[in-house]
Protein backbone atom coordinates (compact mmCIF):
# COMPACT_ATOMS: atom_id res chain seq x y z
CA UNK A 1 0.00 0.00 0.00
CA UNK A 2 1.34 3.46 -0.87
CA UNK A 3 2.10 6.04 1.82
CA UNK A 4 -0.92 7.96 0.60
CA UNK A 5 -3.12 4.87 0.89
CA UNK A 6 -1.85 4.19 4.40
CA UNK A 7 -2.51 7.78 5.43
CA UNK A 8 -5.97 7.70 3.89
CA UNK A 9 -6.85 4.44 5.68
CA UNK A 10 -5.67 5.89 9.00
CA UNK A 11 -7.60 9.10 8.41
CA UNK A 12 -10.77 7.12 7.71
CA UNK A 13 -10.21 5.07 10.87
CA UNK A 14 -9.73 8.31 12.81
CA UNK A 15 -12.90 9.88 11.39
CA UNK A 16 -14.94 6.72 12.01
CA UNK A 17 -13.79 6.11 15.59
CA UNK A 18 -12.59 9.36 17.16
CA UNK A 19 -15.94 10.31 18.75
CA UNK A 20 -16.46 6.75 20.00
CA UNK A 21 -13.01 6.50 21.58
CA UNK A 22 -13.29 9.95 23.13
CA UNK A 23 -16.63 8.96 24.65
CA UNK A 24 -15.10 5.74 26.00
CA UNK A 25 -12.29 7.75 27.63
CA UNK A 26 -14.87 10.14 29.07
CA UNK A 27 -17.02 7.39 30.57
CA UNK A 28 -13.98 5.70 32.10
CA UNK A 29 -12.36 8.88 33.49
CA UNK A 30 -15.39 11.14 33.97
CA UNK A 31 -13.30 14.08 32.76
CA UNK A 32 -14.21 15.68 29.39
CA UNK A 33 -10.89 17.49 29.06
CA UNK A 34 -8.88 14.36 29.77
CA UNK A 35 -11.08 12.33 27.44
CA UNK A 36 -10.13 14.39 24.38
CA UNK A 37 -6.45 14.29 25.32
CA UNK A 38 -6.55 10.55 25.92
CA UNK A 39 -8.33 9.91 22.62
CA UNK A 40 -5.70 12.02 20.85
CA UNK A 41 -2.88 10.17 22.63
CA UNK A 42 -4.50 6.86 21.70
CA UNK A 43 -4.52 7.83 18.02
CA UNK A 44 -0.83 8.71 18.24
CA UNK A 45 -0.27 5.14 19.49
CA UNK A 46 -2.58 3.72 16.83
CA UNK A 47 -0.61 5.55 14.14
CA UNK A 48 2.72 4.37 15.58
CA UNK A 49 1.50 0.76 15.44
CA UNK A 50 -0.74 1.17 12.40
CA UNK A 51 0.37 -2.05 10.67
CA UNK A 52 -0.33 -4.06 13.81
CA UNK A 53 -3.67 -2.28 14.33
CA UNK A 54 -4.81 -2.96 10.76
CA UNK A 55 -3.73 -6.60 11.03
CA UNK A 56 -5.72 -7.07 14.25
CA UNK A 57 -8.97 -9.06 14.14
CA UNK A 58 -10.74 -5.91 15.28
CA UNK A 59 -8.77 -2.69 14.82
CA UNK A 60 -11.31 -0.77 16.88
CA UNK A 61 -10.93 -3.26 19.77
CA UNK A 62 -7.18 -2.68 19.60
CA UNK A 63 -7.76 1.08 19.78
CA UNK A 64 -10.23 0.68 22.66
CA UNK A 65 -7.59 -1.31 24.53
CA UNK A 66 -5.14 1.57 24.11
CA UNK A 67 -7.72 4.12 25.31
CA UNK A 68 -8.61 1.98 28.32
CA UNK A 69 -4.95 1.59 29.31
CA UNK A 70 -4.27 5.31 28.92
CA UNK A 71 -7.39 6.10 30.96
CA UNK A 72 -6.23 3.70 33.69
CA UNK A 73 -2.81 5.40 33.83
CA UNK A 74 -4.48 8.82 33.93
CA UNK A 75 -6.72 7.76 36.84
CA UNK A 76 -3.75 6.37 38.78
CA UNK A 77 -1.88 9.65 38.29
CA UNK A 78 -4.92 11.72 39.40
CA UNK A 79 -5.38 9.52 42.45
CA UNK A 80 -1.73 9.91 43.43
CA UNK A 81 -1.84 13.68 42.95
CA UNK A 82 -5.14 14.02 44.76
CA UNK A 83 -4.06 11.96 47.77
CA UNK A 84 -0.84 14.00 47.91
CA UNK A 85 -2.87 17.22 47.97
CA UNK A 86 -5.24 15.78 50.57
CA UNK A 87 -2.30 14.87 52.79
CA UNK A 88 -0.98 18.42 52.47
CA UNK A 89 -4.41 19.71 53.43
CA UNK A 90 -4.70 21.63 50.16
CA UNK A 91 -7.82 19.76 49.14
CA UNK A 92 -10.75 19.20 51.46
CA UNK A 93 -12.82 16.08 51.03
CA UNK A 94 -16.40 17.07 50.38
CA UNK A 95 -17.93 15.62 53.53
CA UNK A 96 -21.55 14.62 53.48
CA UNK A 97 -21.69 14.96 49.72
CA UNK A 98 -22.42 11.26 49.37
CA UNK A 99 -25.20 11.57 51.98
CA UNK A 100 -27.15 14.24 50.12
CA UNK A 101 -30.29 12.76 48.62
CA UNK A 102 -29.38 14.38 45.31
CA UNK A 103 -30.49 12.65 42.17
CA UNK A 104 -27.47 10.77 40.93
CA UNK A 105 -26.46 11.10 37.37
CA UNK A 106 -25.25 7.94 35.58
CA UNK A 107 -21.79 9.46 35.14
CA UNK A 108 -21.50 10.26 38.84
CA UNK A 109 -22.64 6.74 39.69
CA UNK A 110 -20.12 5.28 37.22
CA UNK A 111 -17.34 7.18 38.97
CA UNK A 112 -18.20 5.37 42.20
CA UNK A 113 -17.69 1.94 40.68
CA UNK A 114 -14.32 0.24 41.09
CA UNK A 115 -12.16 0.69 38.00
CA UNK A 116 -12.54 -2.83 36.50
CA UNK A 117 -16.29 -2.89 37.02
CA UNK A 118 -16.62 0.56 35.47
CA UNK A 119 -14.57 -0.52 32.43
CA UNK A 120 -16.65 -3.67 31.96
CA UNK A 121 -19.99 -1.89 32.41
CA UNK A 122 -19.00 0.93 30.05
CA UNK A 123 -17.67 -1.39 27.33
CA UNK A 124 -20.58 -3.85 27.61
CA UNK A 125 -23.50 -1.46 28.01
CA UNK A 126 -22.43 1.88 26.58
CA UNK A 127 -20.51 0.40 23.65
CA UNK A 128 -22.18 -2.99 23.21
CA UNK A 129 -18.79 -4.71 23.06
CA UNK A 130 -19.12 -8.52 23.23
CA UNK A 131 -17.79 -10.20 26.41
CA UNK A 132 -14.95 -11.95 24.59
CA UNK A 133 -13.76 -8.65 23.11
CA UNK A 134 -13.97 -6.92 26.52
CA UNK A 135 -11.84 -9.74 27.92
CA UNK A 136 -9.24 -9.13 25.20
CA UNK A 137 -9.27 -5.34 25.68
CA UNK A 138 -8.84 -5.58 29.45
CA UNK A 139 -6.59 -8.65 29.45
CA UNK A 140 -8.86 -10.67 31.76
CA UNK A 141 -10.93 -13.84 31.36
CA UNK A 142 -14.47 -13.92 29.95
CA UNK A 143 -15.62 -15.18 33.36
CA UNK A 144 -14.07 -12.15 35.04
CA UNK A 145 -15.80 -9.88 32.51
CA UNK A 146 -19.14 -11.53 33.32
CA UNK A 147 -18.72 -11.16 37.07
CA UNK A 148 -17.38 -7.57 36.92
CA UNK A 149 -20.19 -6.61 34.56
CA UNK A 150 -22.99 -8.13 36.60
CA UNK A 151 -21.63 -6.81 39.91
CA UNK A 152 -20.98 -3.41 38.35
CA UNK A 153 -24.47 -3.25 36.85
CA UNK A 154 -26.02 -4.26 40.19
CA UNK A 155 -23.96 -1.66 42.05
CA UNK A 156 -24.81 0.97 39.47
CA UNK A 157 -28.54 0.34 39.70
CA UNK A 158 -28.21 0.45 43.49
CA UNK A 159 -26.49 3.85 43.21
CA UNK A 160 -29.17 5.06 40.84
CA UNK A 161 -31.92 3.70 43.10
CA UNK A 162 -34.55 2.81 40.57
CA UNK A 163 -33.66 5.44 38.02
CA UNK A 164 -33.95 3.81 34.59
CA UNK A 165 -30.53 2.96 33.15
CA UNK A 166 -30.56 4.69 29.78
CA UNK A 167 -26.90 4.50 28.87
CA UNK A 168 -27.37 2.04 26.04
CA UNK A 169 -29.52 4.22 23.83
CA UNK A 170 -27.87 7.54 24.56
CA UNK A 171 -25.22 8.82 22.17
CA UNK A 172 -23.55 12.14 22.84
Contact assessment for residue 63 and residue 17, using Cβ atoms and an 8 Å cutoff? yes
Topology of 1-91 in CATH?
Answer: Rna Polymerase Sigma Factor; Chain: A (1.10.1740)
**Residue 79: Cβ-neighbour burial (10 angstroms; 0-12, 13-18, 19+):** exposed
Query: Would you say residue 78 has pLDDT above 90?
Result: no
DSSP of 120-146, one letter per residue? Answer: HHIIIIIS---HHHHHHHHTS-HHHHH
Lowest mean pLDDT among 51-55, 118-122, 131-135, 162-166: 162-166
Q: What is the pTM of this model?
A: 0.64
User: Range(s) for CATH 1.10.1740 in the chain?
Assistant: 1-91
Residue 107 has pLDDT above 90, yes or no: no
Range list for CATH 1.10.10.10 in the chain? 98-166
More confident residue, 31 or 161: 31
Q: The domain 98-166 is classified under which CATH number: 3.40.50.2300, 3.40.50.2000, 3.40.30.10, 1.10.10.10?
A: 1.10.10.10
Highest mean pLDDT among 29-33, 88-92, 158-162: 29-33
The rounded distance, in Å, linking the Cα atoms of 77 and 96 is 25
Amino acid sequence: MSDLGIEYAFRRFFDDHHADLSRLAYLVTGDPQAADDLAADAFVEVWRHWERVQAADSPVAYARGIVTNLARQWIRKQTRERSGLLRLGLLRRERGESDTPAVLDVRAALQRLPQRRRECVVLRYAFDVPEREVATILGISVGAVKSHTSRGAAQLSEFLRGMPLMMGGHHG
